[in-house]
Chains A and B, each alone.
Chain A
Amino acid sequence: MKRSAFFLGVFVLAAALAGAQDGAAIIAASRSSMDAQTVSTRSRLVITARNGSTTERVIDQYSKKGPQGDRMIIQFQSPASVRGTRFLTMENGTGGTDQWIFLPSLGRTRRIAADDSGGNFMGTDMSYDDMAAASRDSGADTHRIVREEVYQGVPCYVIESIPKDGSYQYSKTLSWIAKENNSSLRIEMFDRRGAVAKVMESSGFREVSGRLTATVVRISTVSAGTSTTVYTDIIRYDEPIPEGVFTLTYLETGVPG
């Protein structure tokens, strides 16, 4: 009995310690749970207009950590009008990012500026910042737990994150993080006037290579009444990606250099 009481006490203490975690630790744990050396995905992007009409795009994305930072290449599979378009972005180790785009219709690669991180990505509801949000350095924001609540039947921490860099696209975000496994279920992103600009909702969780992964992510732009739903049909973690993928050779030819 004493022994049972001891274990019960340990569990209660552990639960209390977990509850006492600060917001920064929870956000860091949530993001690090998805950490991988490489990530390869094929996704369908269903873009829904205010009137309910939809258009669809299929993209492949390959990302890999490198000595100077993250590298990512996106290639469009459909529709046919953009098939073969490839986009390469590389952190250059000096705090900046180099970006190139290959347009098959022009038959050549163009270097492009990387300062438009708040702009929408290829007509979707996602900005470049949104796409990088999952790997955003948790130290870039100040976090605090504002409440605990049950979201869609899952007990969650609701954490407010305020960017330290005032030029960031959003003035703050609210994240619903599952207590059970640190999964991010919902994020509300606020504009500079303090209104909710976008809502990101994750669902369809399944375990892939030991990581609980959302396979359906819906991003809604509140004021526009539009949304983009990302269905991740294929996802692979830590699968080898040749270094030659993150080169201009691959961008131009589709063959690792």
Chain B
Amino acid sequence: MKRARPLLCWFFLLASGLAAGAQDFGFGFGAADPPASSGGGLGASVGGEVRAAVIAYPGDFSGGPGKVSLGNIFSGALKFSAGASGVEAVIALSLTPVFDGAGSPVALDEAYLRGRFGSFTLEAGLLTLTWGKADSLGPLDVINPLDAADLTGLSGLDDFASLKIPRPLLHGTYHIGSWTKVEGVFVPWYQPAPLPAADSRWFPPAMKVMIDMLPSNTAPSYPGALDSLEYAQGGVRFTTTLGSADLGFQYYYGRLATPAAILSFNASYTLDSISFEYNPYHQVGLDYAGVIAGFNLRVEGALNLTADLKGDDGQVYNPHAAWSAGFDRTLPGDIMLNLQGSGTARLFNDKLGGNPADIEAGTDPTATRIMAALSRSFFRGELEVRLAGIYEIEAEDFLLAPGLTWTKGDISLFFFAAFFGGDREGQFGQYRDNHFLKLGLRTVF
């Protein structure tokens, strides 16, 4: 809690300072539960979530009770917001218990300030944004990386947004009329998604094999000064509605989320060192959403241009095209189907053949992923049963995730399971020993 106190003080000081600018929109009934006022017309409110869940890995049970851990049981979140017309400040904290005095029980999730100046809105701070129209894992949603260091953070395959890692950024939005807007974002530094701890069951086995090959006194090297302007990123996005179609266009300059692992060998052809680089790239992308014959369609396409414009630089990823297309539709029996395909296609793939040391040598030129979810609600939405799955075509691996949620008022009982399978070199197949079950209670306030 020690970290939380100065944050809260900062927040309320900030809130007090904002009070002078408070105005009223003069429209609507306002909140049903009016926020407590801190004076000067500024309203402050607190919300959050309390979650109690146990996580079990069926594979551990064969080792006896000494091998079974049910996890932290408790986790929570607190969100403080203060604002009035034209200005809003938010601080969101996540809470997890700490054992053995390691780490902090409080972590900063989001902290930002939002100001509205007529048609222009400016946000600054630590926050998450969503770009693109895909339901999840779309190629245009490039700003916040996903925290895949522990997949038990998922409560369903429609929950990838909860894995997003907030990033420090400036985000401006200019509204042109009622249906068109232009956004700009500037991310002053780069922070890759965290790797799981080396002794974690979620540490990628392929990476472990590589590191084990290193001489005993050598560690992988990572790029330094990621907080320098050299690693700054930014982009612009234009969205509009034309008739019954929602359209978007964006340009983004950033760093690929997947690091390029550059291996060097000594004279005796044994591995000497591994260094990781995050390749810069330019992205140009388009997206579309519309309803055709009752199908809610969403399509994204992007061209990701790295510095390897000829495809012959073995230490840089080749440029590639990325896509996503999907829909949802209510089937007979009130069953909801959500189906989405996504993938990438490497450009200049023929240039890899001449360089066996290319970081992409021996890998498939395309990667295609199919995600499907069937869900149905019972008892007028109180109980939702869901079966979702992801299959990677080239990698031939999969993740199957059944779940159910019973919601009564503000409290939910949920069950979620994840079963990994297929080729052990695939993104999901590598976790074939990590099937897990999750059962918990959750309430928001």
Is A124 at the interface (CB under 8 A from chain B)?
yes
With contact pairs A55-B408, A123-B381 given, residues A60 and B179 touching in the complex (Cβ less than 8 Å): no
Q: Are A123 and B382 in contact, with the CB atoms below 8 A?
A: yes
Q: Mark B314-356, 1 if CB is under 8 A from A, else 0.
A: 0000000000000001100010000000000000000000000
Is A24 at the interface (CB under 8 A from chain B)?
no
Docked complex Cα distance between A64 and B436 (Å): 50
Q: Which of A78, A105, A255 has the most CB of B within 10 A?
A: A255
Q: Are B32 and A78 in contact, with the CB atoms below 8 A?
A: yes
Q: Are B334 and A119 in contact, with the CB atoms below 8 A?
A: yes
Is A12 at the interface (CB under 8 A from chain B)?
no
Q: Mark B406-419, 1 if CB is under 8 A from A, else 0.
A: 01111010000000
Is B289 at the interface (CB under 8 A from chain A)?
yes
Is A209 at the interface (CB under 8 A from chain B)?
no
Is B128 at the interface (CB under 8 A from chain A)?
yes
Which residues of chain A from 82 to 98 have a CB within 8 Å of any chain B CB? Answer: 83, 92, 96, 98
Docked complex Cα distance between A106 and B27 (Å): 26
With contact pairs A78-B33, A80-B410, A253-B121 given, residues A49 and B379 touching in the complex (Cβ less than 8 Å): yes
Is B191 at the interface (CB under 8 A from chain A)?
no
Is B29 at the interface (CB under 8 A from chain A)?
yes
Docked complex Cα distance between A256 and B380 (Å): 32
Is B432 at the interface (CB under 8 A from chain A)?
no
With contact pairs A80-B445, A105-B161 given, residues A124 and B380 touching in the complex (Cβ less than 8 Å): yes
From residue A110, how far is it (CB to closest CB) to chain B in Å? 7
Q: Are B178 and A120 in contact, with the CB atoms below 8 A?
A: no
Q: Are A98 and B32 in contact, with the CB atoms below 8 A?
A: no
Is B276 at the interface (CB under 8 A from chain A)?
no
Which residues of chain B from 108 to 125 have a CB within 8 Å of any chain A CB? Answer: 116, 119, 121
With contact pairs A107-B129, A113-B294, A255-B116 given, residues A122 and B410 touching in the complex (Cβ less than 8 Å): no
Q: With a CB–CB cut-off of 8 A, which chain A residues contact B291? A: 111-114
Q: With a CB–CB cut-off of 8 A, which chain A residues contact B244? A: 92, 96, 98
With contact pairs A112-B291, A253-B121 given, residues A80 and B175 touching in the complex (Cβ less than 8 Å): no
Is A200 at the interface (CB under 8 A from chain B)?
no
Q: Are A60 and B29 in contact, with the CB atoms below 8 A?
A: yes
Is B223 at the interface (CB under 8 A from chain A)?
no
Q: With a CB–CB cut-off of 8 A, which chain A residues contact B422? A: none
Q: Are B290 and A111 in contact, with the CB atoms below 8 A?
A: yes
Q: Which residue of A lies closest to B85 (CB)?
A: A255
With contact pairs A107-B129, A108-B130, A226-B380 given, residues A257 and B32 touching in the complex (Cβ less than 8 Å): no
Stretch from A174-182, A183-191, A243-251 that touches the partner? A243-251
Q: With a CB–CB cut-off of 8 A, which chain A residues contact B330? A: 113, 116, 119
Which one, A56, A58, A226, A242, contacts B27 given CB within 8 A?
A242
Q: Are A107 and B178 in contact, with the CB atoms below 8 A?
A: no
Docked complex Cα distance between A78 and B45 (Å): 14
Q: Mark A220-257, 1 if CB is under 8 A from B, else 0.
A: 00000010000000100000011111111100010111
Q: With a CB–CB cut-off of 8 A, which chain A residues contact B175? A: 249, 257
Docked complex Cα distance between A92 and B380 (Å): 30
Docked complex Cα distance between A103 and B125 (Å): 22
Is A47 at the interface (CB under 8 A from chain B)?
yes
B-side binding surface: helix, strand, loop or mixed? loop
Is B272 at the interface (CB under 8 A from chain A)?
no
Q: Which residue of A lies closest to B141 (CB)?
A: A108
Is B269 at the interface (CB under 8 A from chain A)?
no
Is B196 at the interface (CB under 8 A from chain A)?
no
Docked complex Cα distance between A237 and B15 (Å): 36
Q: With a CB–CB cut-off of 8 A, which chain B residues contact A249? A: 175, 178, 181
Is B362 at the interface (CB under 8 A from chain A)?
no
Which residues of chain B from 354 to 384 have a CB within 8 Å of any chain A CB? Answer: 377, 379-382
Q: With a CB–CB cut-off of 8 A, which chain B residues contact A241? A: 27
Is A81 at the interface (CB under 8 A from chain B)?
yes
With contact pairs A55-B409, A123-B382, A248-B178 given, residues A256 and B27 touching in the complex (Cβ less than 8 Å): yes
Q: Which residue of B lies closest to A221 (CB)?
A: B380
Is B195 at the interface (CB under 8 A from chain A)?
no
Which residues of chain B from 276 to 298 have a CB within 8 Å of any chain A CB? Answer: 289-291, 294-296
With contact pairs A92-B244, A247-B178 given, residues A40 and B29 touching in the complex (Cβ less than 8 Å): yes
With contact pairs A248-B179, A249-B178, A249-B181 given, residues A81 and B412 touching in the complex (Cβ less than 8 Å): yes
Is B47 at the interface (CB under 8 A from chain A)?
yes
Is A115 at the interface (CB under 8 A from chain B)?
yes
Is A77 at the interface (CB under 8 A from chain B)?
yes
Q: Are B31 and A77 in contact, with the CB atoms below 8 A?
A: yes
Q: With a CB–CB cut-off of 8 A, which chain B residues contact A78? A: 32-33
Q: Are A244 and B178 in contact, with the CB atoms below 8 A?
A: yes
Q: With a CB–CB cut-off of 8 A, which chain A residues contact B410? A: 79-81
Q: Are B32 and A42 in contact, with the CB atoms below 8 A?
A: yes
Docked complex Cα distance between A77 and B334 (Å): 26
Which residues of chain A from 119 to 139 have a CB within 8 Å of any chain B CB? Answer: 119-120, 122-125
Those 7 A-B pairs whose CB atoms lie nearest each other, nearest first = A123-B381, A77-B32, A247-B178, A123-B380, A108-B130, A80-B444, A113-B291
Given contacts A77-B32, A112-B296, A253-B121, 13 further A-B contacts (CB under 8 A): A40-B29, A42-B32, A49-B379, A49-B380, A60-B28, A96-B244, A98-B244, A105-B162, A111-B246, A113-B329, A120-B381, A124-B380, A255-B85
- Enumerate 19 A-B pairs (CB-CB under 8 Å) in ascending A order: A42-B29, A42-B32, A47-B380, A58-B32, A62-B28, A79-B444, A80-B47, A81-B444, A107-B128, A113-B291, A116-B330, A119-B330, A242-B27, A245-B27, A248-B241, A249-B175, A255-B25, A255-B85, A257-B119
